[in-house]
Each structure stands twice: as structure tokens, then as C-alpha cells.
Amino acid sequence: MHQYYSYTGFYGFLGSSLLKAIPLILLFIGGLFAIHFFVIDVNVLLNKITETFPAFGVFTVFFISESVLGLIPPELFIAWSSKSATPVLHLSLLALLSYAGGVVSFYIGKAITKIPSIHDYLEIKMAKHIRNTRKWGGFLIVVGALLPIPFSITTMAAGIIKYPLNSLLLFGLLRFLRFYLYALAIFNIVS
């Protein structure tokens, strides 16, 4: 296995992916601290959102975000759930919606490949990248599920490369683990 991964360039791909993720994590944490100390107390903001907006509305915005491009960081919603009356229930619903949003993104990716110009571009100009992505598709899903990169982008890519849905559903379950670990580590929700 080690020899196969060495020849195929998997280790280089893994290393570069991890190096790209670390600055994003640090940037998010730094941004959160900067907002908290220089703009507004994050706890006050989260309490205000919890009191002002109904949970259904927040869940809807989150599901749309997780289905399209995942541009709103899930950590904000995890923090929101920590201020609710039932934080573990809200956190579990967020994890489920994120997982479901990833499945929706998968089908969006499959639909994109039916557009002739995109299909031709992928098959001709991106052939090498698509081949490597197909080779390591499971790793792509695991990285998207656990690390702070948009899960919907990785699942959309899985749909584009025609990754098997059953494998996506299995590896995507790690999304639940991410939500609970982040809630425990950052917001001390799950005890």
C-alpha cells in the first residue's frame, strides 16, 4: 500500500491538502477572536440571534448553505446551537442537515456534468485531475467531512467524478463526528 501511495502521489496530495487546511482553521479562529474582542461580544450576538430568529429559519438558511456551496461556516451554526434551549438536539439537527446538504450537492455535481460544454471541459482539459480525484475519492469525502473546507464542494466534486453514492453516504457519516467534536472542543456543548 505504501509503495502504491508513493508512486501515485497520494502522500504529496495529502500533505498539500493538510497544509491548505491549517491556515483556514487558524484564520477562522483568529477572525472569531477579532470579532469577539474588537467588534461585538460573540456570546451577546449568538443570544440575540437565538432570541430573534426562529430555529426553523436558521435551519433553513443552514441547509441551503450546505446544499449549494457551504459559504457560511458551520461553526457559526454550532455556536448558535450552543445558545439554544436544547443544544444537543439542535446540534444533531445541524449535523443531519449538513449530511443531507452534502447529498443534494452530490446530485448537483452529477447534474452539472450533463451540460455538454462542462462535460467536454472535464473530459479533455481536466482529465488528469479527474483521474486522480476518482482514485482518491474516498479521501476527498473524508477531508470534506472532517476539515473546515466546504463539505458541499467536496460532495459536488464527488458527483462530478461519478463517485459511488453508497461510498459517499458511508464516508459522509464522519460529518456527524465533526459536528460533535467541534461542539465539544470549541463550544463545550456535548458533555
pLDDT digits (tens, 9 = 90+) for 79-94: 888 888 898 999 999 9
- The residues spanned by each domain of the chain are 2-187
Q: Terminal CA-to-CA distance of the chain, rounded, Å?
A: 38
Rg (CA), the chain: 18
pLDDT at 14: 67
For 138, residues 6+ apart whose C-beta sits below 8 A from its C-beta are 167, 171
Least confident of 7-21, 57-71, 77-91: 7-21
Is residue 34 helix, strand or coil?
Answer: helix
CB neighbours of residue 67 within 10 Å: 21
What distance in Å separates the CA atoms of residue 20 and residue 23, rounded to the nearest whole number? Answer: 6
- How would you classify residue 149: left for phi > 0, otherwise alpha for psi between -120 and 50, otherwise beta? beta
Rounded to whole angstroms, the Cα distance separating 35 from 40 reads 6
- CA dist 152 and 109 (Å) reads 10
In this prediction, residues 91-101 reach a mean pLDDT of: 96
Average pLDDT value for the chain: 82
191, pLDDT greater than 50:
no
Q: What is the pTM of this model?
A: 0.74
pLDDT at 1: 64
Backbone angles phi, psi at 46, to 5 degrees: -65, -40
Please count the other Cβ atoms lying within 10 Å of the Cβ belonging to residue 182. 20
